[in-house]
Amino acid sequence: MFTRKYLKQAKLLKKGVRKFLRYKQDILPDGAFEDIESKLSGFDEAIASKEKETIKKSAKVLTDACEKVMPASSYPSLRENLEVIFVAVIIAVGIRAYFVQPFRIPTGSMQPTLNGIIGYPQEGDFKVPGLVGKAFDKVIEGRTYVDFTIPAGATISAISERTRFKFFTSTIIDFEDSSMEPVKVGVSRKSLLGDANGSDLGLLKRLSIQFYPDGTGGMSSRVGAHSKINEDLRVRGYVDTGDQVLVNKFSYHFRKPKRGEVFVFNTGGITGIPLDNPAQGSQHYIKRLTGVPGDELSIRYGDPALYLDGKPASEEFIRRVWEGKEMGYRGYGFTPPSKTDEWSAGSGNSQRTYLLRDGRYMALGDNSYNSSDSRMWGSVPESNLVGPALMVYWPFEHWGNIP
């Protein structure tokens, strides 16, 4: 299951030398490129042998060849510091890749356990705070304030989303009149326009905006039509970021997933889940793990409980959802049958029963009445599991372990 450490290091060295050759090819001395390529081929053979000492000796020959062709640094202390920083970055990337991964909650399907991205439209006497107030709310609550105006008579031609440095998302509103300055809003397009949860600033609803299909099952940024803007349209409010959580990617290598824990999985191969962006491939979802292989789970019409083998599930956090004693929890919602190979013959218009085969897990949102989950698109294959969610690390208002 696990690759030996020295083999992983050897492969990383090979990858680094390949990059070195690609970037330095034009400035290498005559014959140096061919010499390193030759030693790299020998290193490939050493890796194939999987013998530690052979790999170690070949790695020394290869690194010496690379160092020999580059001039010594004029600033050795600077080089040392850069090397330390480089190693630190590599370690951080390695930790992220193999142990812990950050994940942002995009929707409200796990509320109130975890908060998704939520928009709060405002009217009347609402005032956007000053620079200090904005900065404080951003750090503590992950809040972004919105206050812009679309002028009367304007016709929107496109509403597109841009992301910079993988973290900073904004929405651009363009107009048919090219002389009009585009409006830039510092929130996602979904937060501005709206979604099925209604947790947005509501521009889509206010203007009855329509979009053209993009040919891949999604919608393009081009606007097909919208209500006439007879007077200046002011959009005010704020958007709170989704909880940022840390996911333990290492845990499931050593233990089985536990019923009742919050977990993250990728959606690859789950045919009932549409892709937000087909070009990006599968997405990551976060839900409550409510069923493990061998379980028979039932949800009954008009009954908030989740039944395990005919009895109400007793796991603490699953029970908290269906008992509904805490504010925000309303139990598990019944959904009518549709095509799946995981329902027993007992399913019908008043009860649905799910039989989990080997290597299959059930994922349900704590906000059951507003969650797309295993009730709609079936179980999650074991190969899709990423790991259990550990804690919320931002915004600080929600800092702490995940129940």
> Which of 10-19, 107-116, 194-203, 316-325 is predicted with the least confidence, judged by mean pLDDT?
194-203
Considering the domain architecture, whether residues 258 and 273 belong to the same structural domain is answered as yes
Residues 182/172, Cβ–Cβ less than 8 Å: yes
The dihedral of CA 283, 104, 119, 402: what is its sign? positive
Q: What digits encode the pLDDT tens for the residues 93-134?
A: 555 556 778 888 888 889 889 988 888 888 888 888 888 888
Is the pLDDT assigned to residue 360 strictly greater than 70?
yes
pLDDT in the model for residue 403: 83
Name the more confident of 348 and 196: 348
Q: Report pLDDT digits (tens) over 159-171.
A: 888 877 666 788 9
CATH value at residue 274? 2.10.109.10
Residue 48 within a domain: yes
The total of structural domains in the chain comes to 3
Mean pLDDT of the chain: 81
Poorest-pLDDT segment among 36-40, 213-217, 262-266: 213-217
Q: Is residue 311 part of a domain?
A: yes
Question: Over 70: is that where the pLDDT of 308 sits?
Answer: yes
Q: What range does the domain containing 366 cover?
A: 243-401
Q: List, for residues 89-103, the tens digit of each pLDDT value.
A: 555 555 555 677 888
Q: Which of residues 193, 217, 240 is at a domain's end?
A: 240
Whether residues 205 and 272 share a domain: the answer is: no
Is this model's pTM higher than 0.85 or not?
A: no
- In order, the DSSP letters of 97-160 are HHTEEEEE--SSTTTTTS---EEEE--TT-----HHHHHHHHHHH-EEEEEEEEPTT--EEEEE
